[in-house]
Structure 1
Amino acid sequence: MIKIVTVCGAGVGSSMMLRVFTQQIIEAYNIEAEVEASDIGSVNANEYDIVITTSDFANVLRESTAKIVRIDNLMDKAYLKSELLSAINEL
């Protein structure tokens, strides 16, 4: 099972929205994955296969072993889908 985490500053705003969008994508493609949301201060990115976050936080997590999906337009579901599926294919 693929472990995915969405990350934002507080863990309640954009990360929750990204978690919902990510869940919709993996369900649509029948991908076995677990999606969590977290804040930048408490996430251990190395516990996940994929981290989805904005560029600001991606830079903080760049040392992580997880694949980082950067998304700055949170409403761009098509971009999220293509980047997420690409990251899953690389696993």
Structure 2
Amino acid sequence: NVTFREADAEDLPFPAGAFTLLTCRIAPHHFPDVTRALSEFHRVLRRGGRIAIVDTMLPDDPEIAQWYQQMEQMRDPTHIQAYT
């Protein structure tokens, strides 16, 4: 059974060990504190649980990466940081 829920990734409203699988799609670049979100993901996963994260990535070229960040922030004000 699958249930879709929307919640704050940095403060998930679920008990520890609640899930065997967690997915996060095209979202981490919106999180103010990615480390906190990852900690929450770990907290709510059962021992041996799996996580699937998909997100945009910065290009290797620093100038293009900087341009990409600026364009994304203009295009979407909720964009905080893309990662490598």
TM range, smaller chain: 0.3 to 0.5
Q: Which structure has the greater CA radius of gyration?
A: 2
Greater share of helix: 1
Q: TM-score, normalised by structure 2?
A: 0.33
Q: TM-score, normalised by structure 1?
A: 0.32
